[in-house]
Amino acid sequence: MVNETVLVTGSSKGLGESLALIFSKNNYDIILHGRDEENLRQIKEKILTKNVDCEIVKGDIKSYKTIEKLFQVAKKRNISILVNNAGVDYSGSLENTNFRDIEDALEVNLIAPIKLTKKIYPLFSRKKSGIIVNINSVASLNVPELKTIYCSSKKGLEGFTDSLRFEAKKEGIRIIGVYVGGMKTDMYAKTGRDISRCMNPLDVAQIIYDACKKNQSASMDELTINKNIK
Ligand SMILES: NC(=O)c1ccc[n+]([C@@H]2O[C@H](COP(=O)([O-])OP(=O)(O)OC[C@H]3O[C@@H](n4cnc5c(N)ncnc54)[C@H](OP(=O)(O)O)[C@@H]3O)[C@@H](O)[C@H]2O)c1
């Protein structure tokens, strides 16, 4: 039997790496993506031990060349699931945020997922199946202070996810919006806040994998993942 393929953007570390590992454990071939070549190579080695296939696409998600490369590999491998995961965090007041950081946040967190989805969507609509998972943040649902630019990008992603779902449902394509709380990843560590009580990204990835599983009559459109309260 031929394995299904999942593409996870930003899978060189953090949640993306955990998603790639969980899907590979469940017999999916993996398309890894990111900019850190050494990390990607090491993750690919781990994935190949699970007897599935794995291909790396290296490149800045802001560049059209990277989007085109991701599309070509996704097409060649008859992709079943696209996970728009690559993301950047920006904190601070608008007054102290420069144009470069504003553009980076909006391009990585919002414009790149829209462009990549637009490229890959016809592959799914042609076969009347496929899943697009957009990794969002609880900061989009409950906006915190001093996250103006990050929240602008993630609120945009929320609107894209919810609106696309209307047209996608008619084509047999599932659109899943995932709203995640604090995780033990580099992104959270860089905020300088206490990371010790954050979620393990492998636990989060397992929940997302379960939400993608096929079911005869019911499916998950949206999920919020927060830490257990002990
Ligand atoms: N960590 C949290 O607490 C938290 C909470 C809520 C939501 N989230 C969301 O979860 C997702 C994953 O975050 P994470 O915590 O796993 O972050 P992370 O550890 O910082 O990993 C981010 C990933 O995105 C990739 N990436 C970033 N900018 C890129 C660019 N310009 N081009 C290509 N790849 C790029 C990175 O690849 P390279 O380093 O190789 O470039 C890396 O693989 C993000 O969408 C984030 O907004 C995270």
- For the domain that residue 21 is a member of, what is the CATH number? 3.40.50.720
CB 88 within 8 A of CB 106: no
Q: Which domain holds residue 26?
A: 5-225
Quick: pLDDT tens for 118-156.
999 999 999 999 999 999 999 999 999 999 999 999 999
Whole-number percent of the chain with pLDDT over 90: 97
Quick: pLDDT tens for 8-29.
999 999 999 999 999 999 999 9
For the Cβ of 15 lying below 6 angstroms from any atom of ligand 1, the answer is yes
Confidence of residue 230 (pLDDT cuts 50, 70, 90): low
Domain assignment of residue 123, yes or no: yes
Confidence of residue 215 (pLDDT cuts 50, 70, 90): confident
Out of 9, 21, 35, give the residue to mutate to test ligand 1, the one with the largest number of ligand atoms within 8 Å of its CB. Answer: 35
Instruction: Tell the residue nearest (CA) to atom 3 of ligand 1.
Output: 182
- Ligand 1: distance of its center to the CA of 89 in Å? 8
Quick: pLDDT tens for 81-110.
999 999 999 999 999 999 999 999 999 999
Domain assignment of residue 230, yes or no: no
- Ligand 1: distance of its center to the CA of 20 in Å? 13
**Helix, strand or coil for residue 202?**
helix
Task: Please give the C-alpha separations between residue 86 and each of 5, 26, 113, in angstroms, as whole numbers.
Answer: 18, 22, 9
- Interhelix angle 37-48/14-25, nearest 10 degrees: 20
- Ligand 1: distance of its center to the CA of 39 in Å? 13
Instruction: Give the neighbor-by-neighbor strand order of the sheet with 131-137.
Output: 54-58, 29-34, 5-8, 81-84, 131-137, 174-180, 222-225
Domain count, the chain: 1
Cβ atoms within 10 A of the Cβ of 55, count? Answer: 16
CB 7 within 8 A of CB 74: yes
Is the pTM higher than 0.95? yes
